Structure 1
């Protein structure tokens, strides 16, 4: 008997945890700041409705109907015409399994950096400067140790299964993540200069709507923010009860993910303006600094300037990022684990051990040959595999999946479902293709 989620809330927290990752906390805020502030936010909310929620609904529906891992699910539902679709579906499913392993290899490295910086901030708070320096300075031993620590954390949760592992820990970690976000927002809001950051983030600027890259940037962020394209949501959908309302669940997960991304903006953008008020360099070529430079240079320096409270602020901030990373790794790890469980008949313990071992090997290669491999691996997964897999999911739902396609059946009876079906069949693939072309070839 397949494992499953015990409660609706448990699924929502686990799926939102899968979606909420480092991109929400460092990617979304700087996208907002660099694409017109509130103008981006407004367009983003529209795009969530017209592209991100349909994409999430599509991936969840495929897993829910097939009740299987991505290889079996896509092979089963993409059987038209003849066996060509089934073979293509299985091939994309295998790419999902491989892509999940690749993403987990570099994600665990980044997650290890976050955990190391959290403990480094704690060491500074405890007045252990040597430990602080060792933990926050890049080195081979540090990266290997913390990748191993994070791999153990991921493996310890997923080996316990869906209901006793992923669901239980998602119910613990997600509320903690939100509490940490709110506490950090409250502290930053009291610092000089934060008001200008809130204004940049929340006050609409009509000039921002003239940005030619605004819409495609919002579509890219909305799609990638919900962790679509590697089978994580598909396998979660397969663990749902047969009577689950996929549409309502997709909206709930997207709403929680969007809320957390919005809260991250309330933290990061004001923090950048606080740093600017202290004379720190927070922009390059008219754009606010984002991603790795923001996380590992600007904000740590800002925390160090905040006196005795600074190291504790840094500790809570990097723990927030570590939790966000962990909620994502446990969902992605379930993709190859479910494949080994169902297609290779391994026990969960053996499947978990094999998957963690393979991820460790790939992560070790990325750490040792960081310069030639790391950026290429990240680009391949995020710029190519995610959007192309997501595009294939739309094709499966709209064109290849005929038997037991509930949306298609409802579309024959009611015009509103007919509109939704054609939106998923034509509009969403074209929008996603636009994102892919822009990100892969122009970005």
Structure 2
């Protein structure tokens, strides 16, 4: 028997949930690193511009596809391609479905690291030095403990559905994330060296504004930070009421996501300069050291230089990272769960179990072959699938989808010019992003 479709009950609930899907490690981990390596304030300025030029239309396009179909990505894309080749649309939906599973397989591992690092200061404070060492040391055993734990946390929320699970927990987790961010920024601002970090981040070097590498990097970061390309926003858009004000909601999600990325820069980049002031090497050949070293080496070293208060700061920071991870794993898990529930009439409980088991199997495969498979999986997903799917969505909405596509039917006014922008400009910008990240 077909099950009644759940949905968001309030505008705020949707905005927090969709922003939570977008606010992940890419915002709090990737964005500050990109900013530090591409001119600080110059990157920030260009980032804001390309959010408006590329990421906002991409976000609207993906939400629009799901909202009009009121269905999961496989159904939504099949319907959009109904007049041309429905099997092509369905195939793209299945590709996004596979991408969500792949994303979860490595994202759950990294999320598990964040959870382990959040528990490490507690273990150290309680005098459990061996446990503390285990929690901050990379090992297969740690991966096999904390990856399933993160999957269980995600599943416990997905099981409750959209209203009671995703929306309710987004209302709890996102305000907590914002409070932690602001609190940590306020504390870091009081430390020696932070002022240099604020200046590097907020004062643009206008000579770098037109650097092609900076522009393309900002375009890629803007697209990836909004969690576009695997159907997260499409499935969330499908849970909106049919009469929802999609342009306003899209702007609200983009604004909150961009605000969190901006705040993350206000935290991480001053913290980098505080660490440098305290004798920690943070730059090599003029570039910030690798992202993994930033989170798991430089910042822990900084926390160690703070004495006992460093335990609290480290705890709060990795709780923040764990929340950011969880809000993203929730959205990615909902994609295959919704597909099983709607297309195959599987009970949500059983669907959640099947998806979690599939992700755990894929994660285990990565853990057993970590040295070569982890980086390969991330590269294939982020450098190829995500930008190509974004390009596919633009082409679908701008050129191929006719029945029920109000943008395609627009004959004049703002809607008409926005439709032309999606048809002609966005595919060119998206192709530029793909060419840069795929071919360097």
TM-score range, shorter chain: over 0.9
Greater than 6 Å deviation, 4+ residue runs: none
1:418 equivalent in structure 2: 416
Contact 1:36–1:211 (Cα < 8 Å) also in 2: no
Corresponding residue for residue 428 of structure 2: 430
Task: Show the counterpart of 1:17.
Answer: 20
Measured in 1, the distance between the counterparts of 2:47 and 2:320 equals 24
Cα RMSD after superposing both structures: 0.9
Secondary structure, aligned partner of 2:209: helix
Distance apart, 1:48 and its partner CA: 0.6
Instruction: State whether residues 26 and 290 of structure 1, in contact with CA within 8 Å, keep that contact through their aligned partners in structure 2.
Output: no
Residues in 2 aligned to 1:435 and 1:80: alpha-carbon distance in whole angstroms? 30
Q: Which residue of 1 aligns with 2:307?
A: 307
CA distance in 2, matches of 1:137, 1:29: 24
Question: Counterparts in 2 of 1:317-356, with a 5 A limit?
Answer: 317-356=317-356
Q: CA deviation at 1:126?
A: 2.7
The superposition leaves residues 205-254 of structure 1 with CA deviations (integer Å, 9 ceiling, x where unpaired) of 12222433111111000000000100010000000000001111110000
What SS does the corresponding residue of 2:39 show, helix, strand or coil?
coil
Contact 1:120/1:135 (8 A) holds in 2: yes
CA distance in 2, matches of 1:395, 1:428: 9
The answer for the alignment partner of 1:45 in structure 2 is 48
The residue that corresponds to 1:104 in the other structure is 104
**Cα distance in 1 between the residues matched to 2:413 and 2:215:** 28
Q: 2:138 & 2:219 partners in 1: Cα distance?
A: 34
Query: Deviation per CA, 1:147-206, whole angstroms, max 9, x where unpaired?
Result: 011010000000110000000000000000000001111111111000000000001212
TM-score by length of 2: 0.98
The residue that corresponds to 2:72 in the other structure is 69
Q: Which residue of 27, 31, 38 maps to 2:30?
A: 27
Residue 135 of structure 1 is matched in structure 2 by 135
1:50 is displaced (CA, Å) by 0.9
Q: For 1:432 and 1:138, locate their aligned partners in 2 and report how far apart those are by CA, in whole Å.
A: 36
Aligned equivalents of 2:62 and 2:249: distance in 1? 12
Separation in 1 of the partners of 2:348 and 2:210? 52
Judge conservation of contact 1:36–1:207 (CA < 8 Å) in 2. no
- How far does residue 290 in structure 1 lie from its aligned partner after superposition? 4.3
Equivalents in 1 of 2:67, 2:341: separation in Å?
17
Q: Could you report, residue by residue, the CA deviation over 1:58-113 in whole angstroms, capped at 9, with x for unpaired residues?
A: 000000011111111100111232xx2x1111001001111100100100000000
Give the secondary structure class of the aligned counterpart of 1:389: helix
- SS of the aligned residue for 2:212 comes to coil
Alignment of 1:387-402 (within 5 A): 387-402=387-402
Tell me which residue corresponds to 1:90: 90
1:280 aligned onto 2:280: yes
In 2, Cα distance between the equivalents of 1:354 and 1:179? 35
Distance in 2 (CA, whole Å) between partners of 1:114 and 1:288 is 21
Q: TM-score when scaled to structure 1?
A: 0.97
- 1:217 has 2:217 as partner: yes
Gaps of 5+ in 2: none
The equivalent of 1:440 in structure 2 is: 438
Distance 2:337 2:159 in 1: 9
1:364 equivalent in structure 2 = 364
Aligned to 1:148: 148
Q: 3-state DSSP class of the match of 1:213?
A: helix
Secondary structure of 1:142's counterpart equals: helix
Counterpart contact for 1:27–1:290, Cα < 8 Å: no
* Counterpart-to-counterpart distance in 2, 1:132 and 1:208: 43
In the alignment of these two chains, the number of paired residues is 437
Distance 2:128 2:208 in 1: 46
CA distance in 2: counterparts of 1:78 and 1:187, whole angstroms: 52
Matched with 1:163 is 163
Distance 1:344 1:400 in 2: 27
Distance 2:51 2:211 in 1: 19
Q: In structure 1, list runs of 5 or more residues that go unmatched.
A: none
1:126 maps to 126
